[in-house]
Amino acid sequence: MTSAIRDRLTIGELAARSGIAHSALRYYEELGLIHSERTAGGRRHYARQTLRRLAFIKAAQTVGLSLDEAREAMADLPAERSPTLAEWKPVATSWQQRIDEQIADLQRLRDHLTGCVGCGCLSLGRCALYNPKDIQGAEGPGARKLLPKLDR
């Protein structure tokens, strides 16, 4: 094995080190979140730095970011080294704001949950569990979930 290859991880090694399934790693690669190089035999090899990107993706998902949002956030960070404090601060600040919003949403939901105790109606019109903040109503009138393709 050459030194160039030893600096790289196979997909199995990356999966073992990150705790992320092979299929998810291939999916992340399809989405452009991570990158590999192919050997002459077509096997994927990943730079060790990929572990840092995967840690970032896991952290972003913990905060509630989608994979698209994680990719956008990573675009603002260096790919081949750890971010500096100045580079990391805007990302961390935006994540703090998002967590604060999630906490506020959950507190609102908790406060409106009293009517659901012992109810079970899951009414579109009045249930804070089924339709928090009347999201369905904001999308327009009618059966929004039942007829999404006829609405065009």
- Contact with ligand FES (CB under 6 A) among 122, 134, 137, 148: 122
DSSP state, residue 43:
-
- Binding of ligand FES by 129 (CB under 6 A): yes
Give residue 24's region: left, alpha or beta (phi > 0; psi -120 to 50). alpha
Which parts of 88-117 interact with ligand FES (CB under 6 A)?
A: 115-116
- Binding of ligand FES by 126 (CB under 6 A): yes
Integer CA distances (angstroms), 129 to 82, 99, 101, 102, 133, in order: 41, 20, 17, 15, 9
Smallest gap from Cβ 148 to ligand FES, in A, equals: 23
- Contact with ligand FES (CB under 6 A) among 9, 33, 47, 127: 127
- Binding of ligand FES by 42 (CB under 6 A): no
> 3-state DSSP call for residue 10?
strand
- Contact with ligand FES (CB under 6 A) among 92, 104, 106, 121: 121
> 3-state DSSP call for residue 115?
helix
Residue 56, CB-side half-sphere exposure with 13 Å CA sphere: 27
CB nearer to ligand FES: give 10 or 136. Answer: 136
Residues that bind ligand FES (CB under 6 A): 115-116, 119-123, 126-127, 129
